[in-house]
Structure 1
């Protein structure tokens, strides 16, 4: 188990830090709360290489001499890129290091606590700062609540800049011992949450009005561990889009778009005849995965994600397949076997965040499978897109006719790329 945020030697904390996407930002409000569990950002560090160097410096420091090591590296990195950061070097380096390392510590501890929740089902809030204590945090000291209590969703440490509070898990016996000390026979009641609106980032590139619980600094009203363990419910990293817009380029400065994949040559017979009944086309698709109209199958893609292949993918709300034969869907139906090939052997897989219209305010991850094709014996080039989300799939295959220019092909294929590249053949 972990002993100190600064040492950060346990694997769960290290895993949390390593999985972060390095993103430039124009200000600290570009991404918000839970998004920080998936991304490493430093407010105002808008160059990819600068962000990468700061990320590596923190990683190397916590594996060696701690903050003192990072403090020595910080001015060298700043000078290398001519970064005009806010605050003195000593103060800014301390904030950057402490916040990232402490949140990684808490995320790692949360993962440990969730793994043994059946044995240690309670959480204990412990205020550890003795110098200039925050009165709200001090009032929460000793609070014992079930680990699943919603109060932890907004009050799991760290609860503000330089906050040193911690959360521990307790067994039933340990919790009862603490309750008796306070003259209680069961868990405490979660404190009522008083909300207030705060304007943050007034002088930055992305000011916003946020709603936060009293006693918690804006930007800290979330559980870093829960956000890490439940990544598919997080908002997309929209702040990165703002940075790219400022640069007037579709890609990060350190990212080279993948080369156009060589098209897979297929016989024209791979396309189903026009007028094929939807039920026949769906049967063909299911058969490729070992599924039938009566029995589904589990398929694991190239990234290790498991998808359920059933006829329900192709049915509308009434359970019909007729929509597949509707105007505008015909080419999709004819190319259904190419969509199966795209899912099984994609050229690329991209993950992108999209709004969940069924759950207002939530976001879901969509998996986007891409594959380039060419009809055998012709110059007819096309691509297939198979997109998988929480509400099922959408697929489309487009053939563009003869394309003489490789640049034309690349431009068409490039338009299908969105989100984050997670697999390339």
Structure 2
């Protein structure tokens, strides 16, 4: 074993990053959202970076893994899963199962609507939480390994098949400001089709995005149909997507598919659960995509057997890292399932990892999602720049990003100074600032 590849130290830095008032079926984004930066330092002096969700339940799993990892090689990314499970904490000891897809994890309050506000990915389980934590450690190890060997991460994954990766504009209904105060921007409100089109025009003008995805489930379906129709008129021939995060019934989903079948590239998670998605798929030719009913390998067989989806959105945070994202891509190729890429609120470390793995996936034929243009803060320098809706794949060693330690320290201070209100993302709580009677709706909502 090469001594310089041995992990000497792991640094965990929870942070709070500014977030605009973007609306979804759960409520609205809080003024800041938690992220966790993982830094792996080797005996050879290489420092590797990873990023994932920063809510308390993720920190509780990350801390023992950070303590257990020193002494192991950054090459042993396959061993991270067993190491994480052995390091604990054991979720079953707190009354939550260590296995199973449909049972909530320890520390996660059950939600009537069956989705997790942080990722809107279906029920959060102990195994899913652990995969999201391991993903950041794997990325950090690969970054450190690449820096040691002088190779980009994409070379460690088998090599890139494209020099640029295309991303899609992520459109949101939104308020012009947070109701209780917080960070401001110059985007203004977008609460009707005209506002959504104006938002899309700015994304097109400033970033060159060629495709558009609208976060739905916020208003009644007729209003969101009108927004997609307005986009189709403003941008004829451009790929359009609509994602209501499981807010609709089977009947409503089929009605929307009939209305928009001629303009949608795909309809993402119109209803919650594999059975509902299968019923919709049987009644429409519009391709159905998911990042809710299929987010682990255990969920794949049922979805394929029931022909519930035609496109799976990969996300290395969900699936357990970059290598497992490639395993998912191979599975999709085998079964003739399309592959796209999901995004949640993230910074430049995650964006670099997304771009590196996306560059290695021949079957990735859809533009990737990204929230990144909505984020005004980052911990890497310089900020990535989209040109014609694309990011150039870095050939620099590792992920190709440099850590801005001053920015990291400032965002960590914000986390330390928070009274606990923002350390766990809760879009419903943020909505109650404006509407005290609000509670996240049961689905189907319409």
TM-score normalised according to structure 2 size: 0.28
Q: Select the structure with the greater relative contact order (CA < 8 A; seq sep ≥ 6).
A: 2
TM-score normalised according to structure 1 size: 0.29
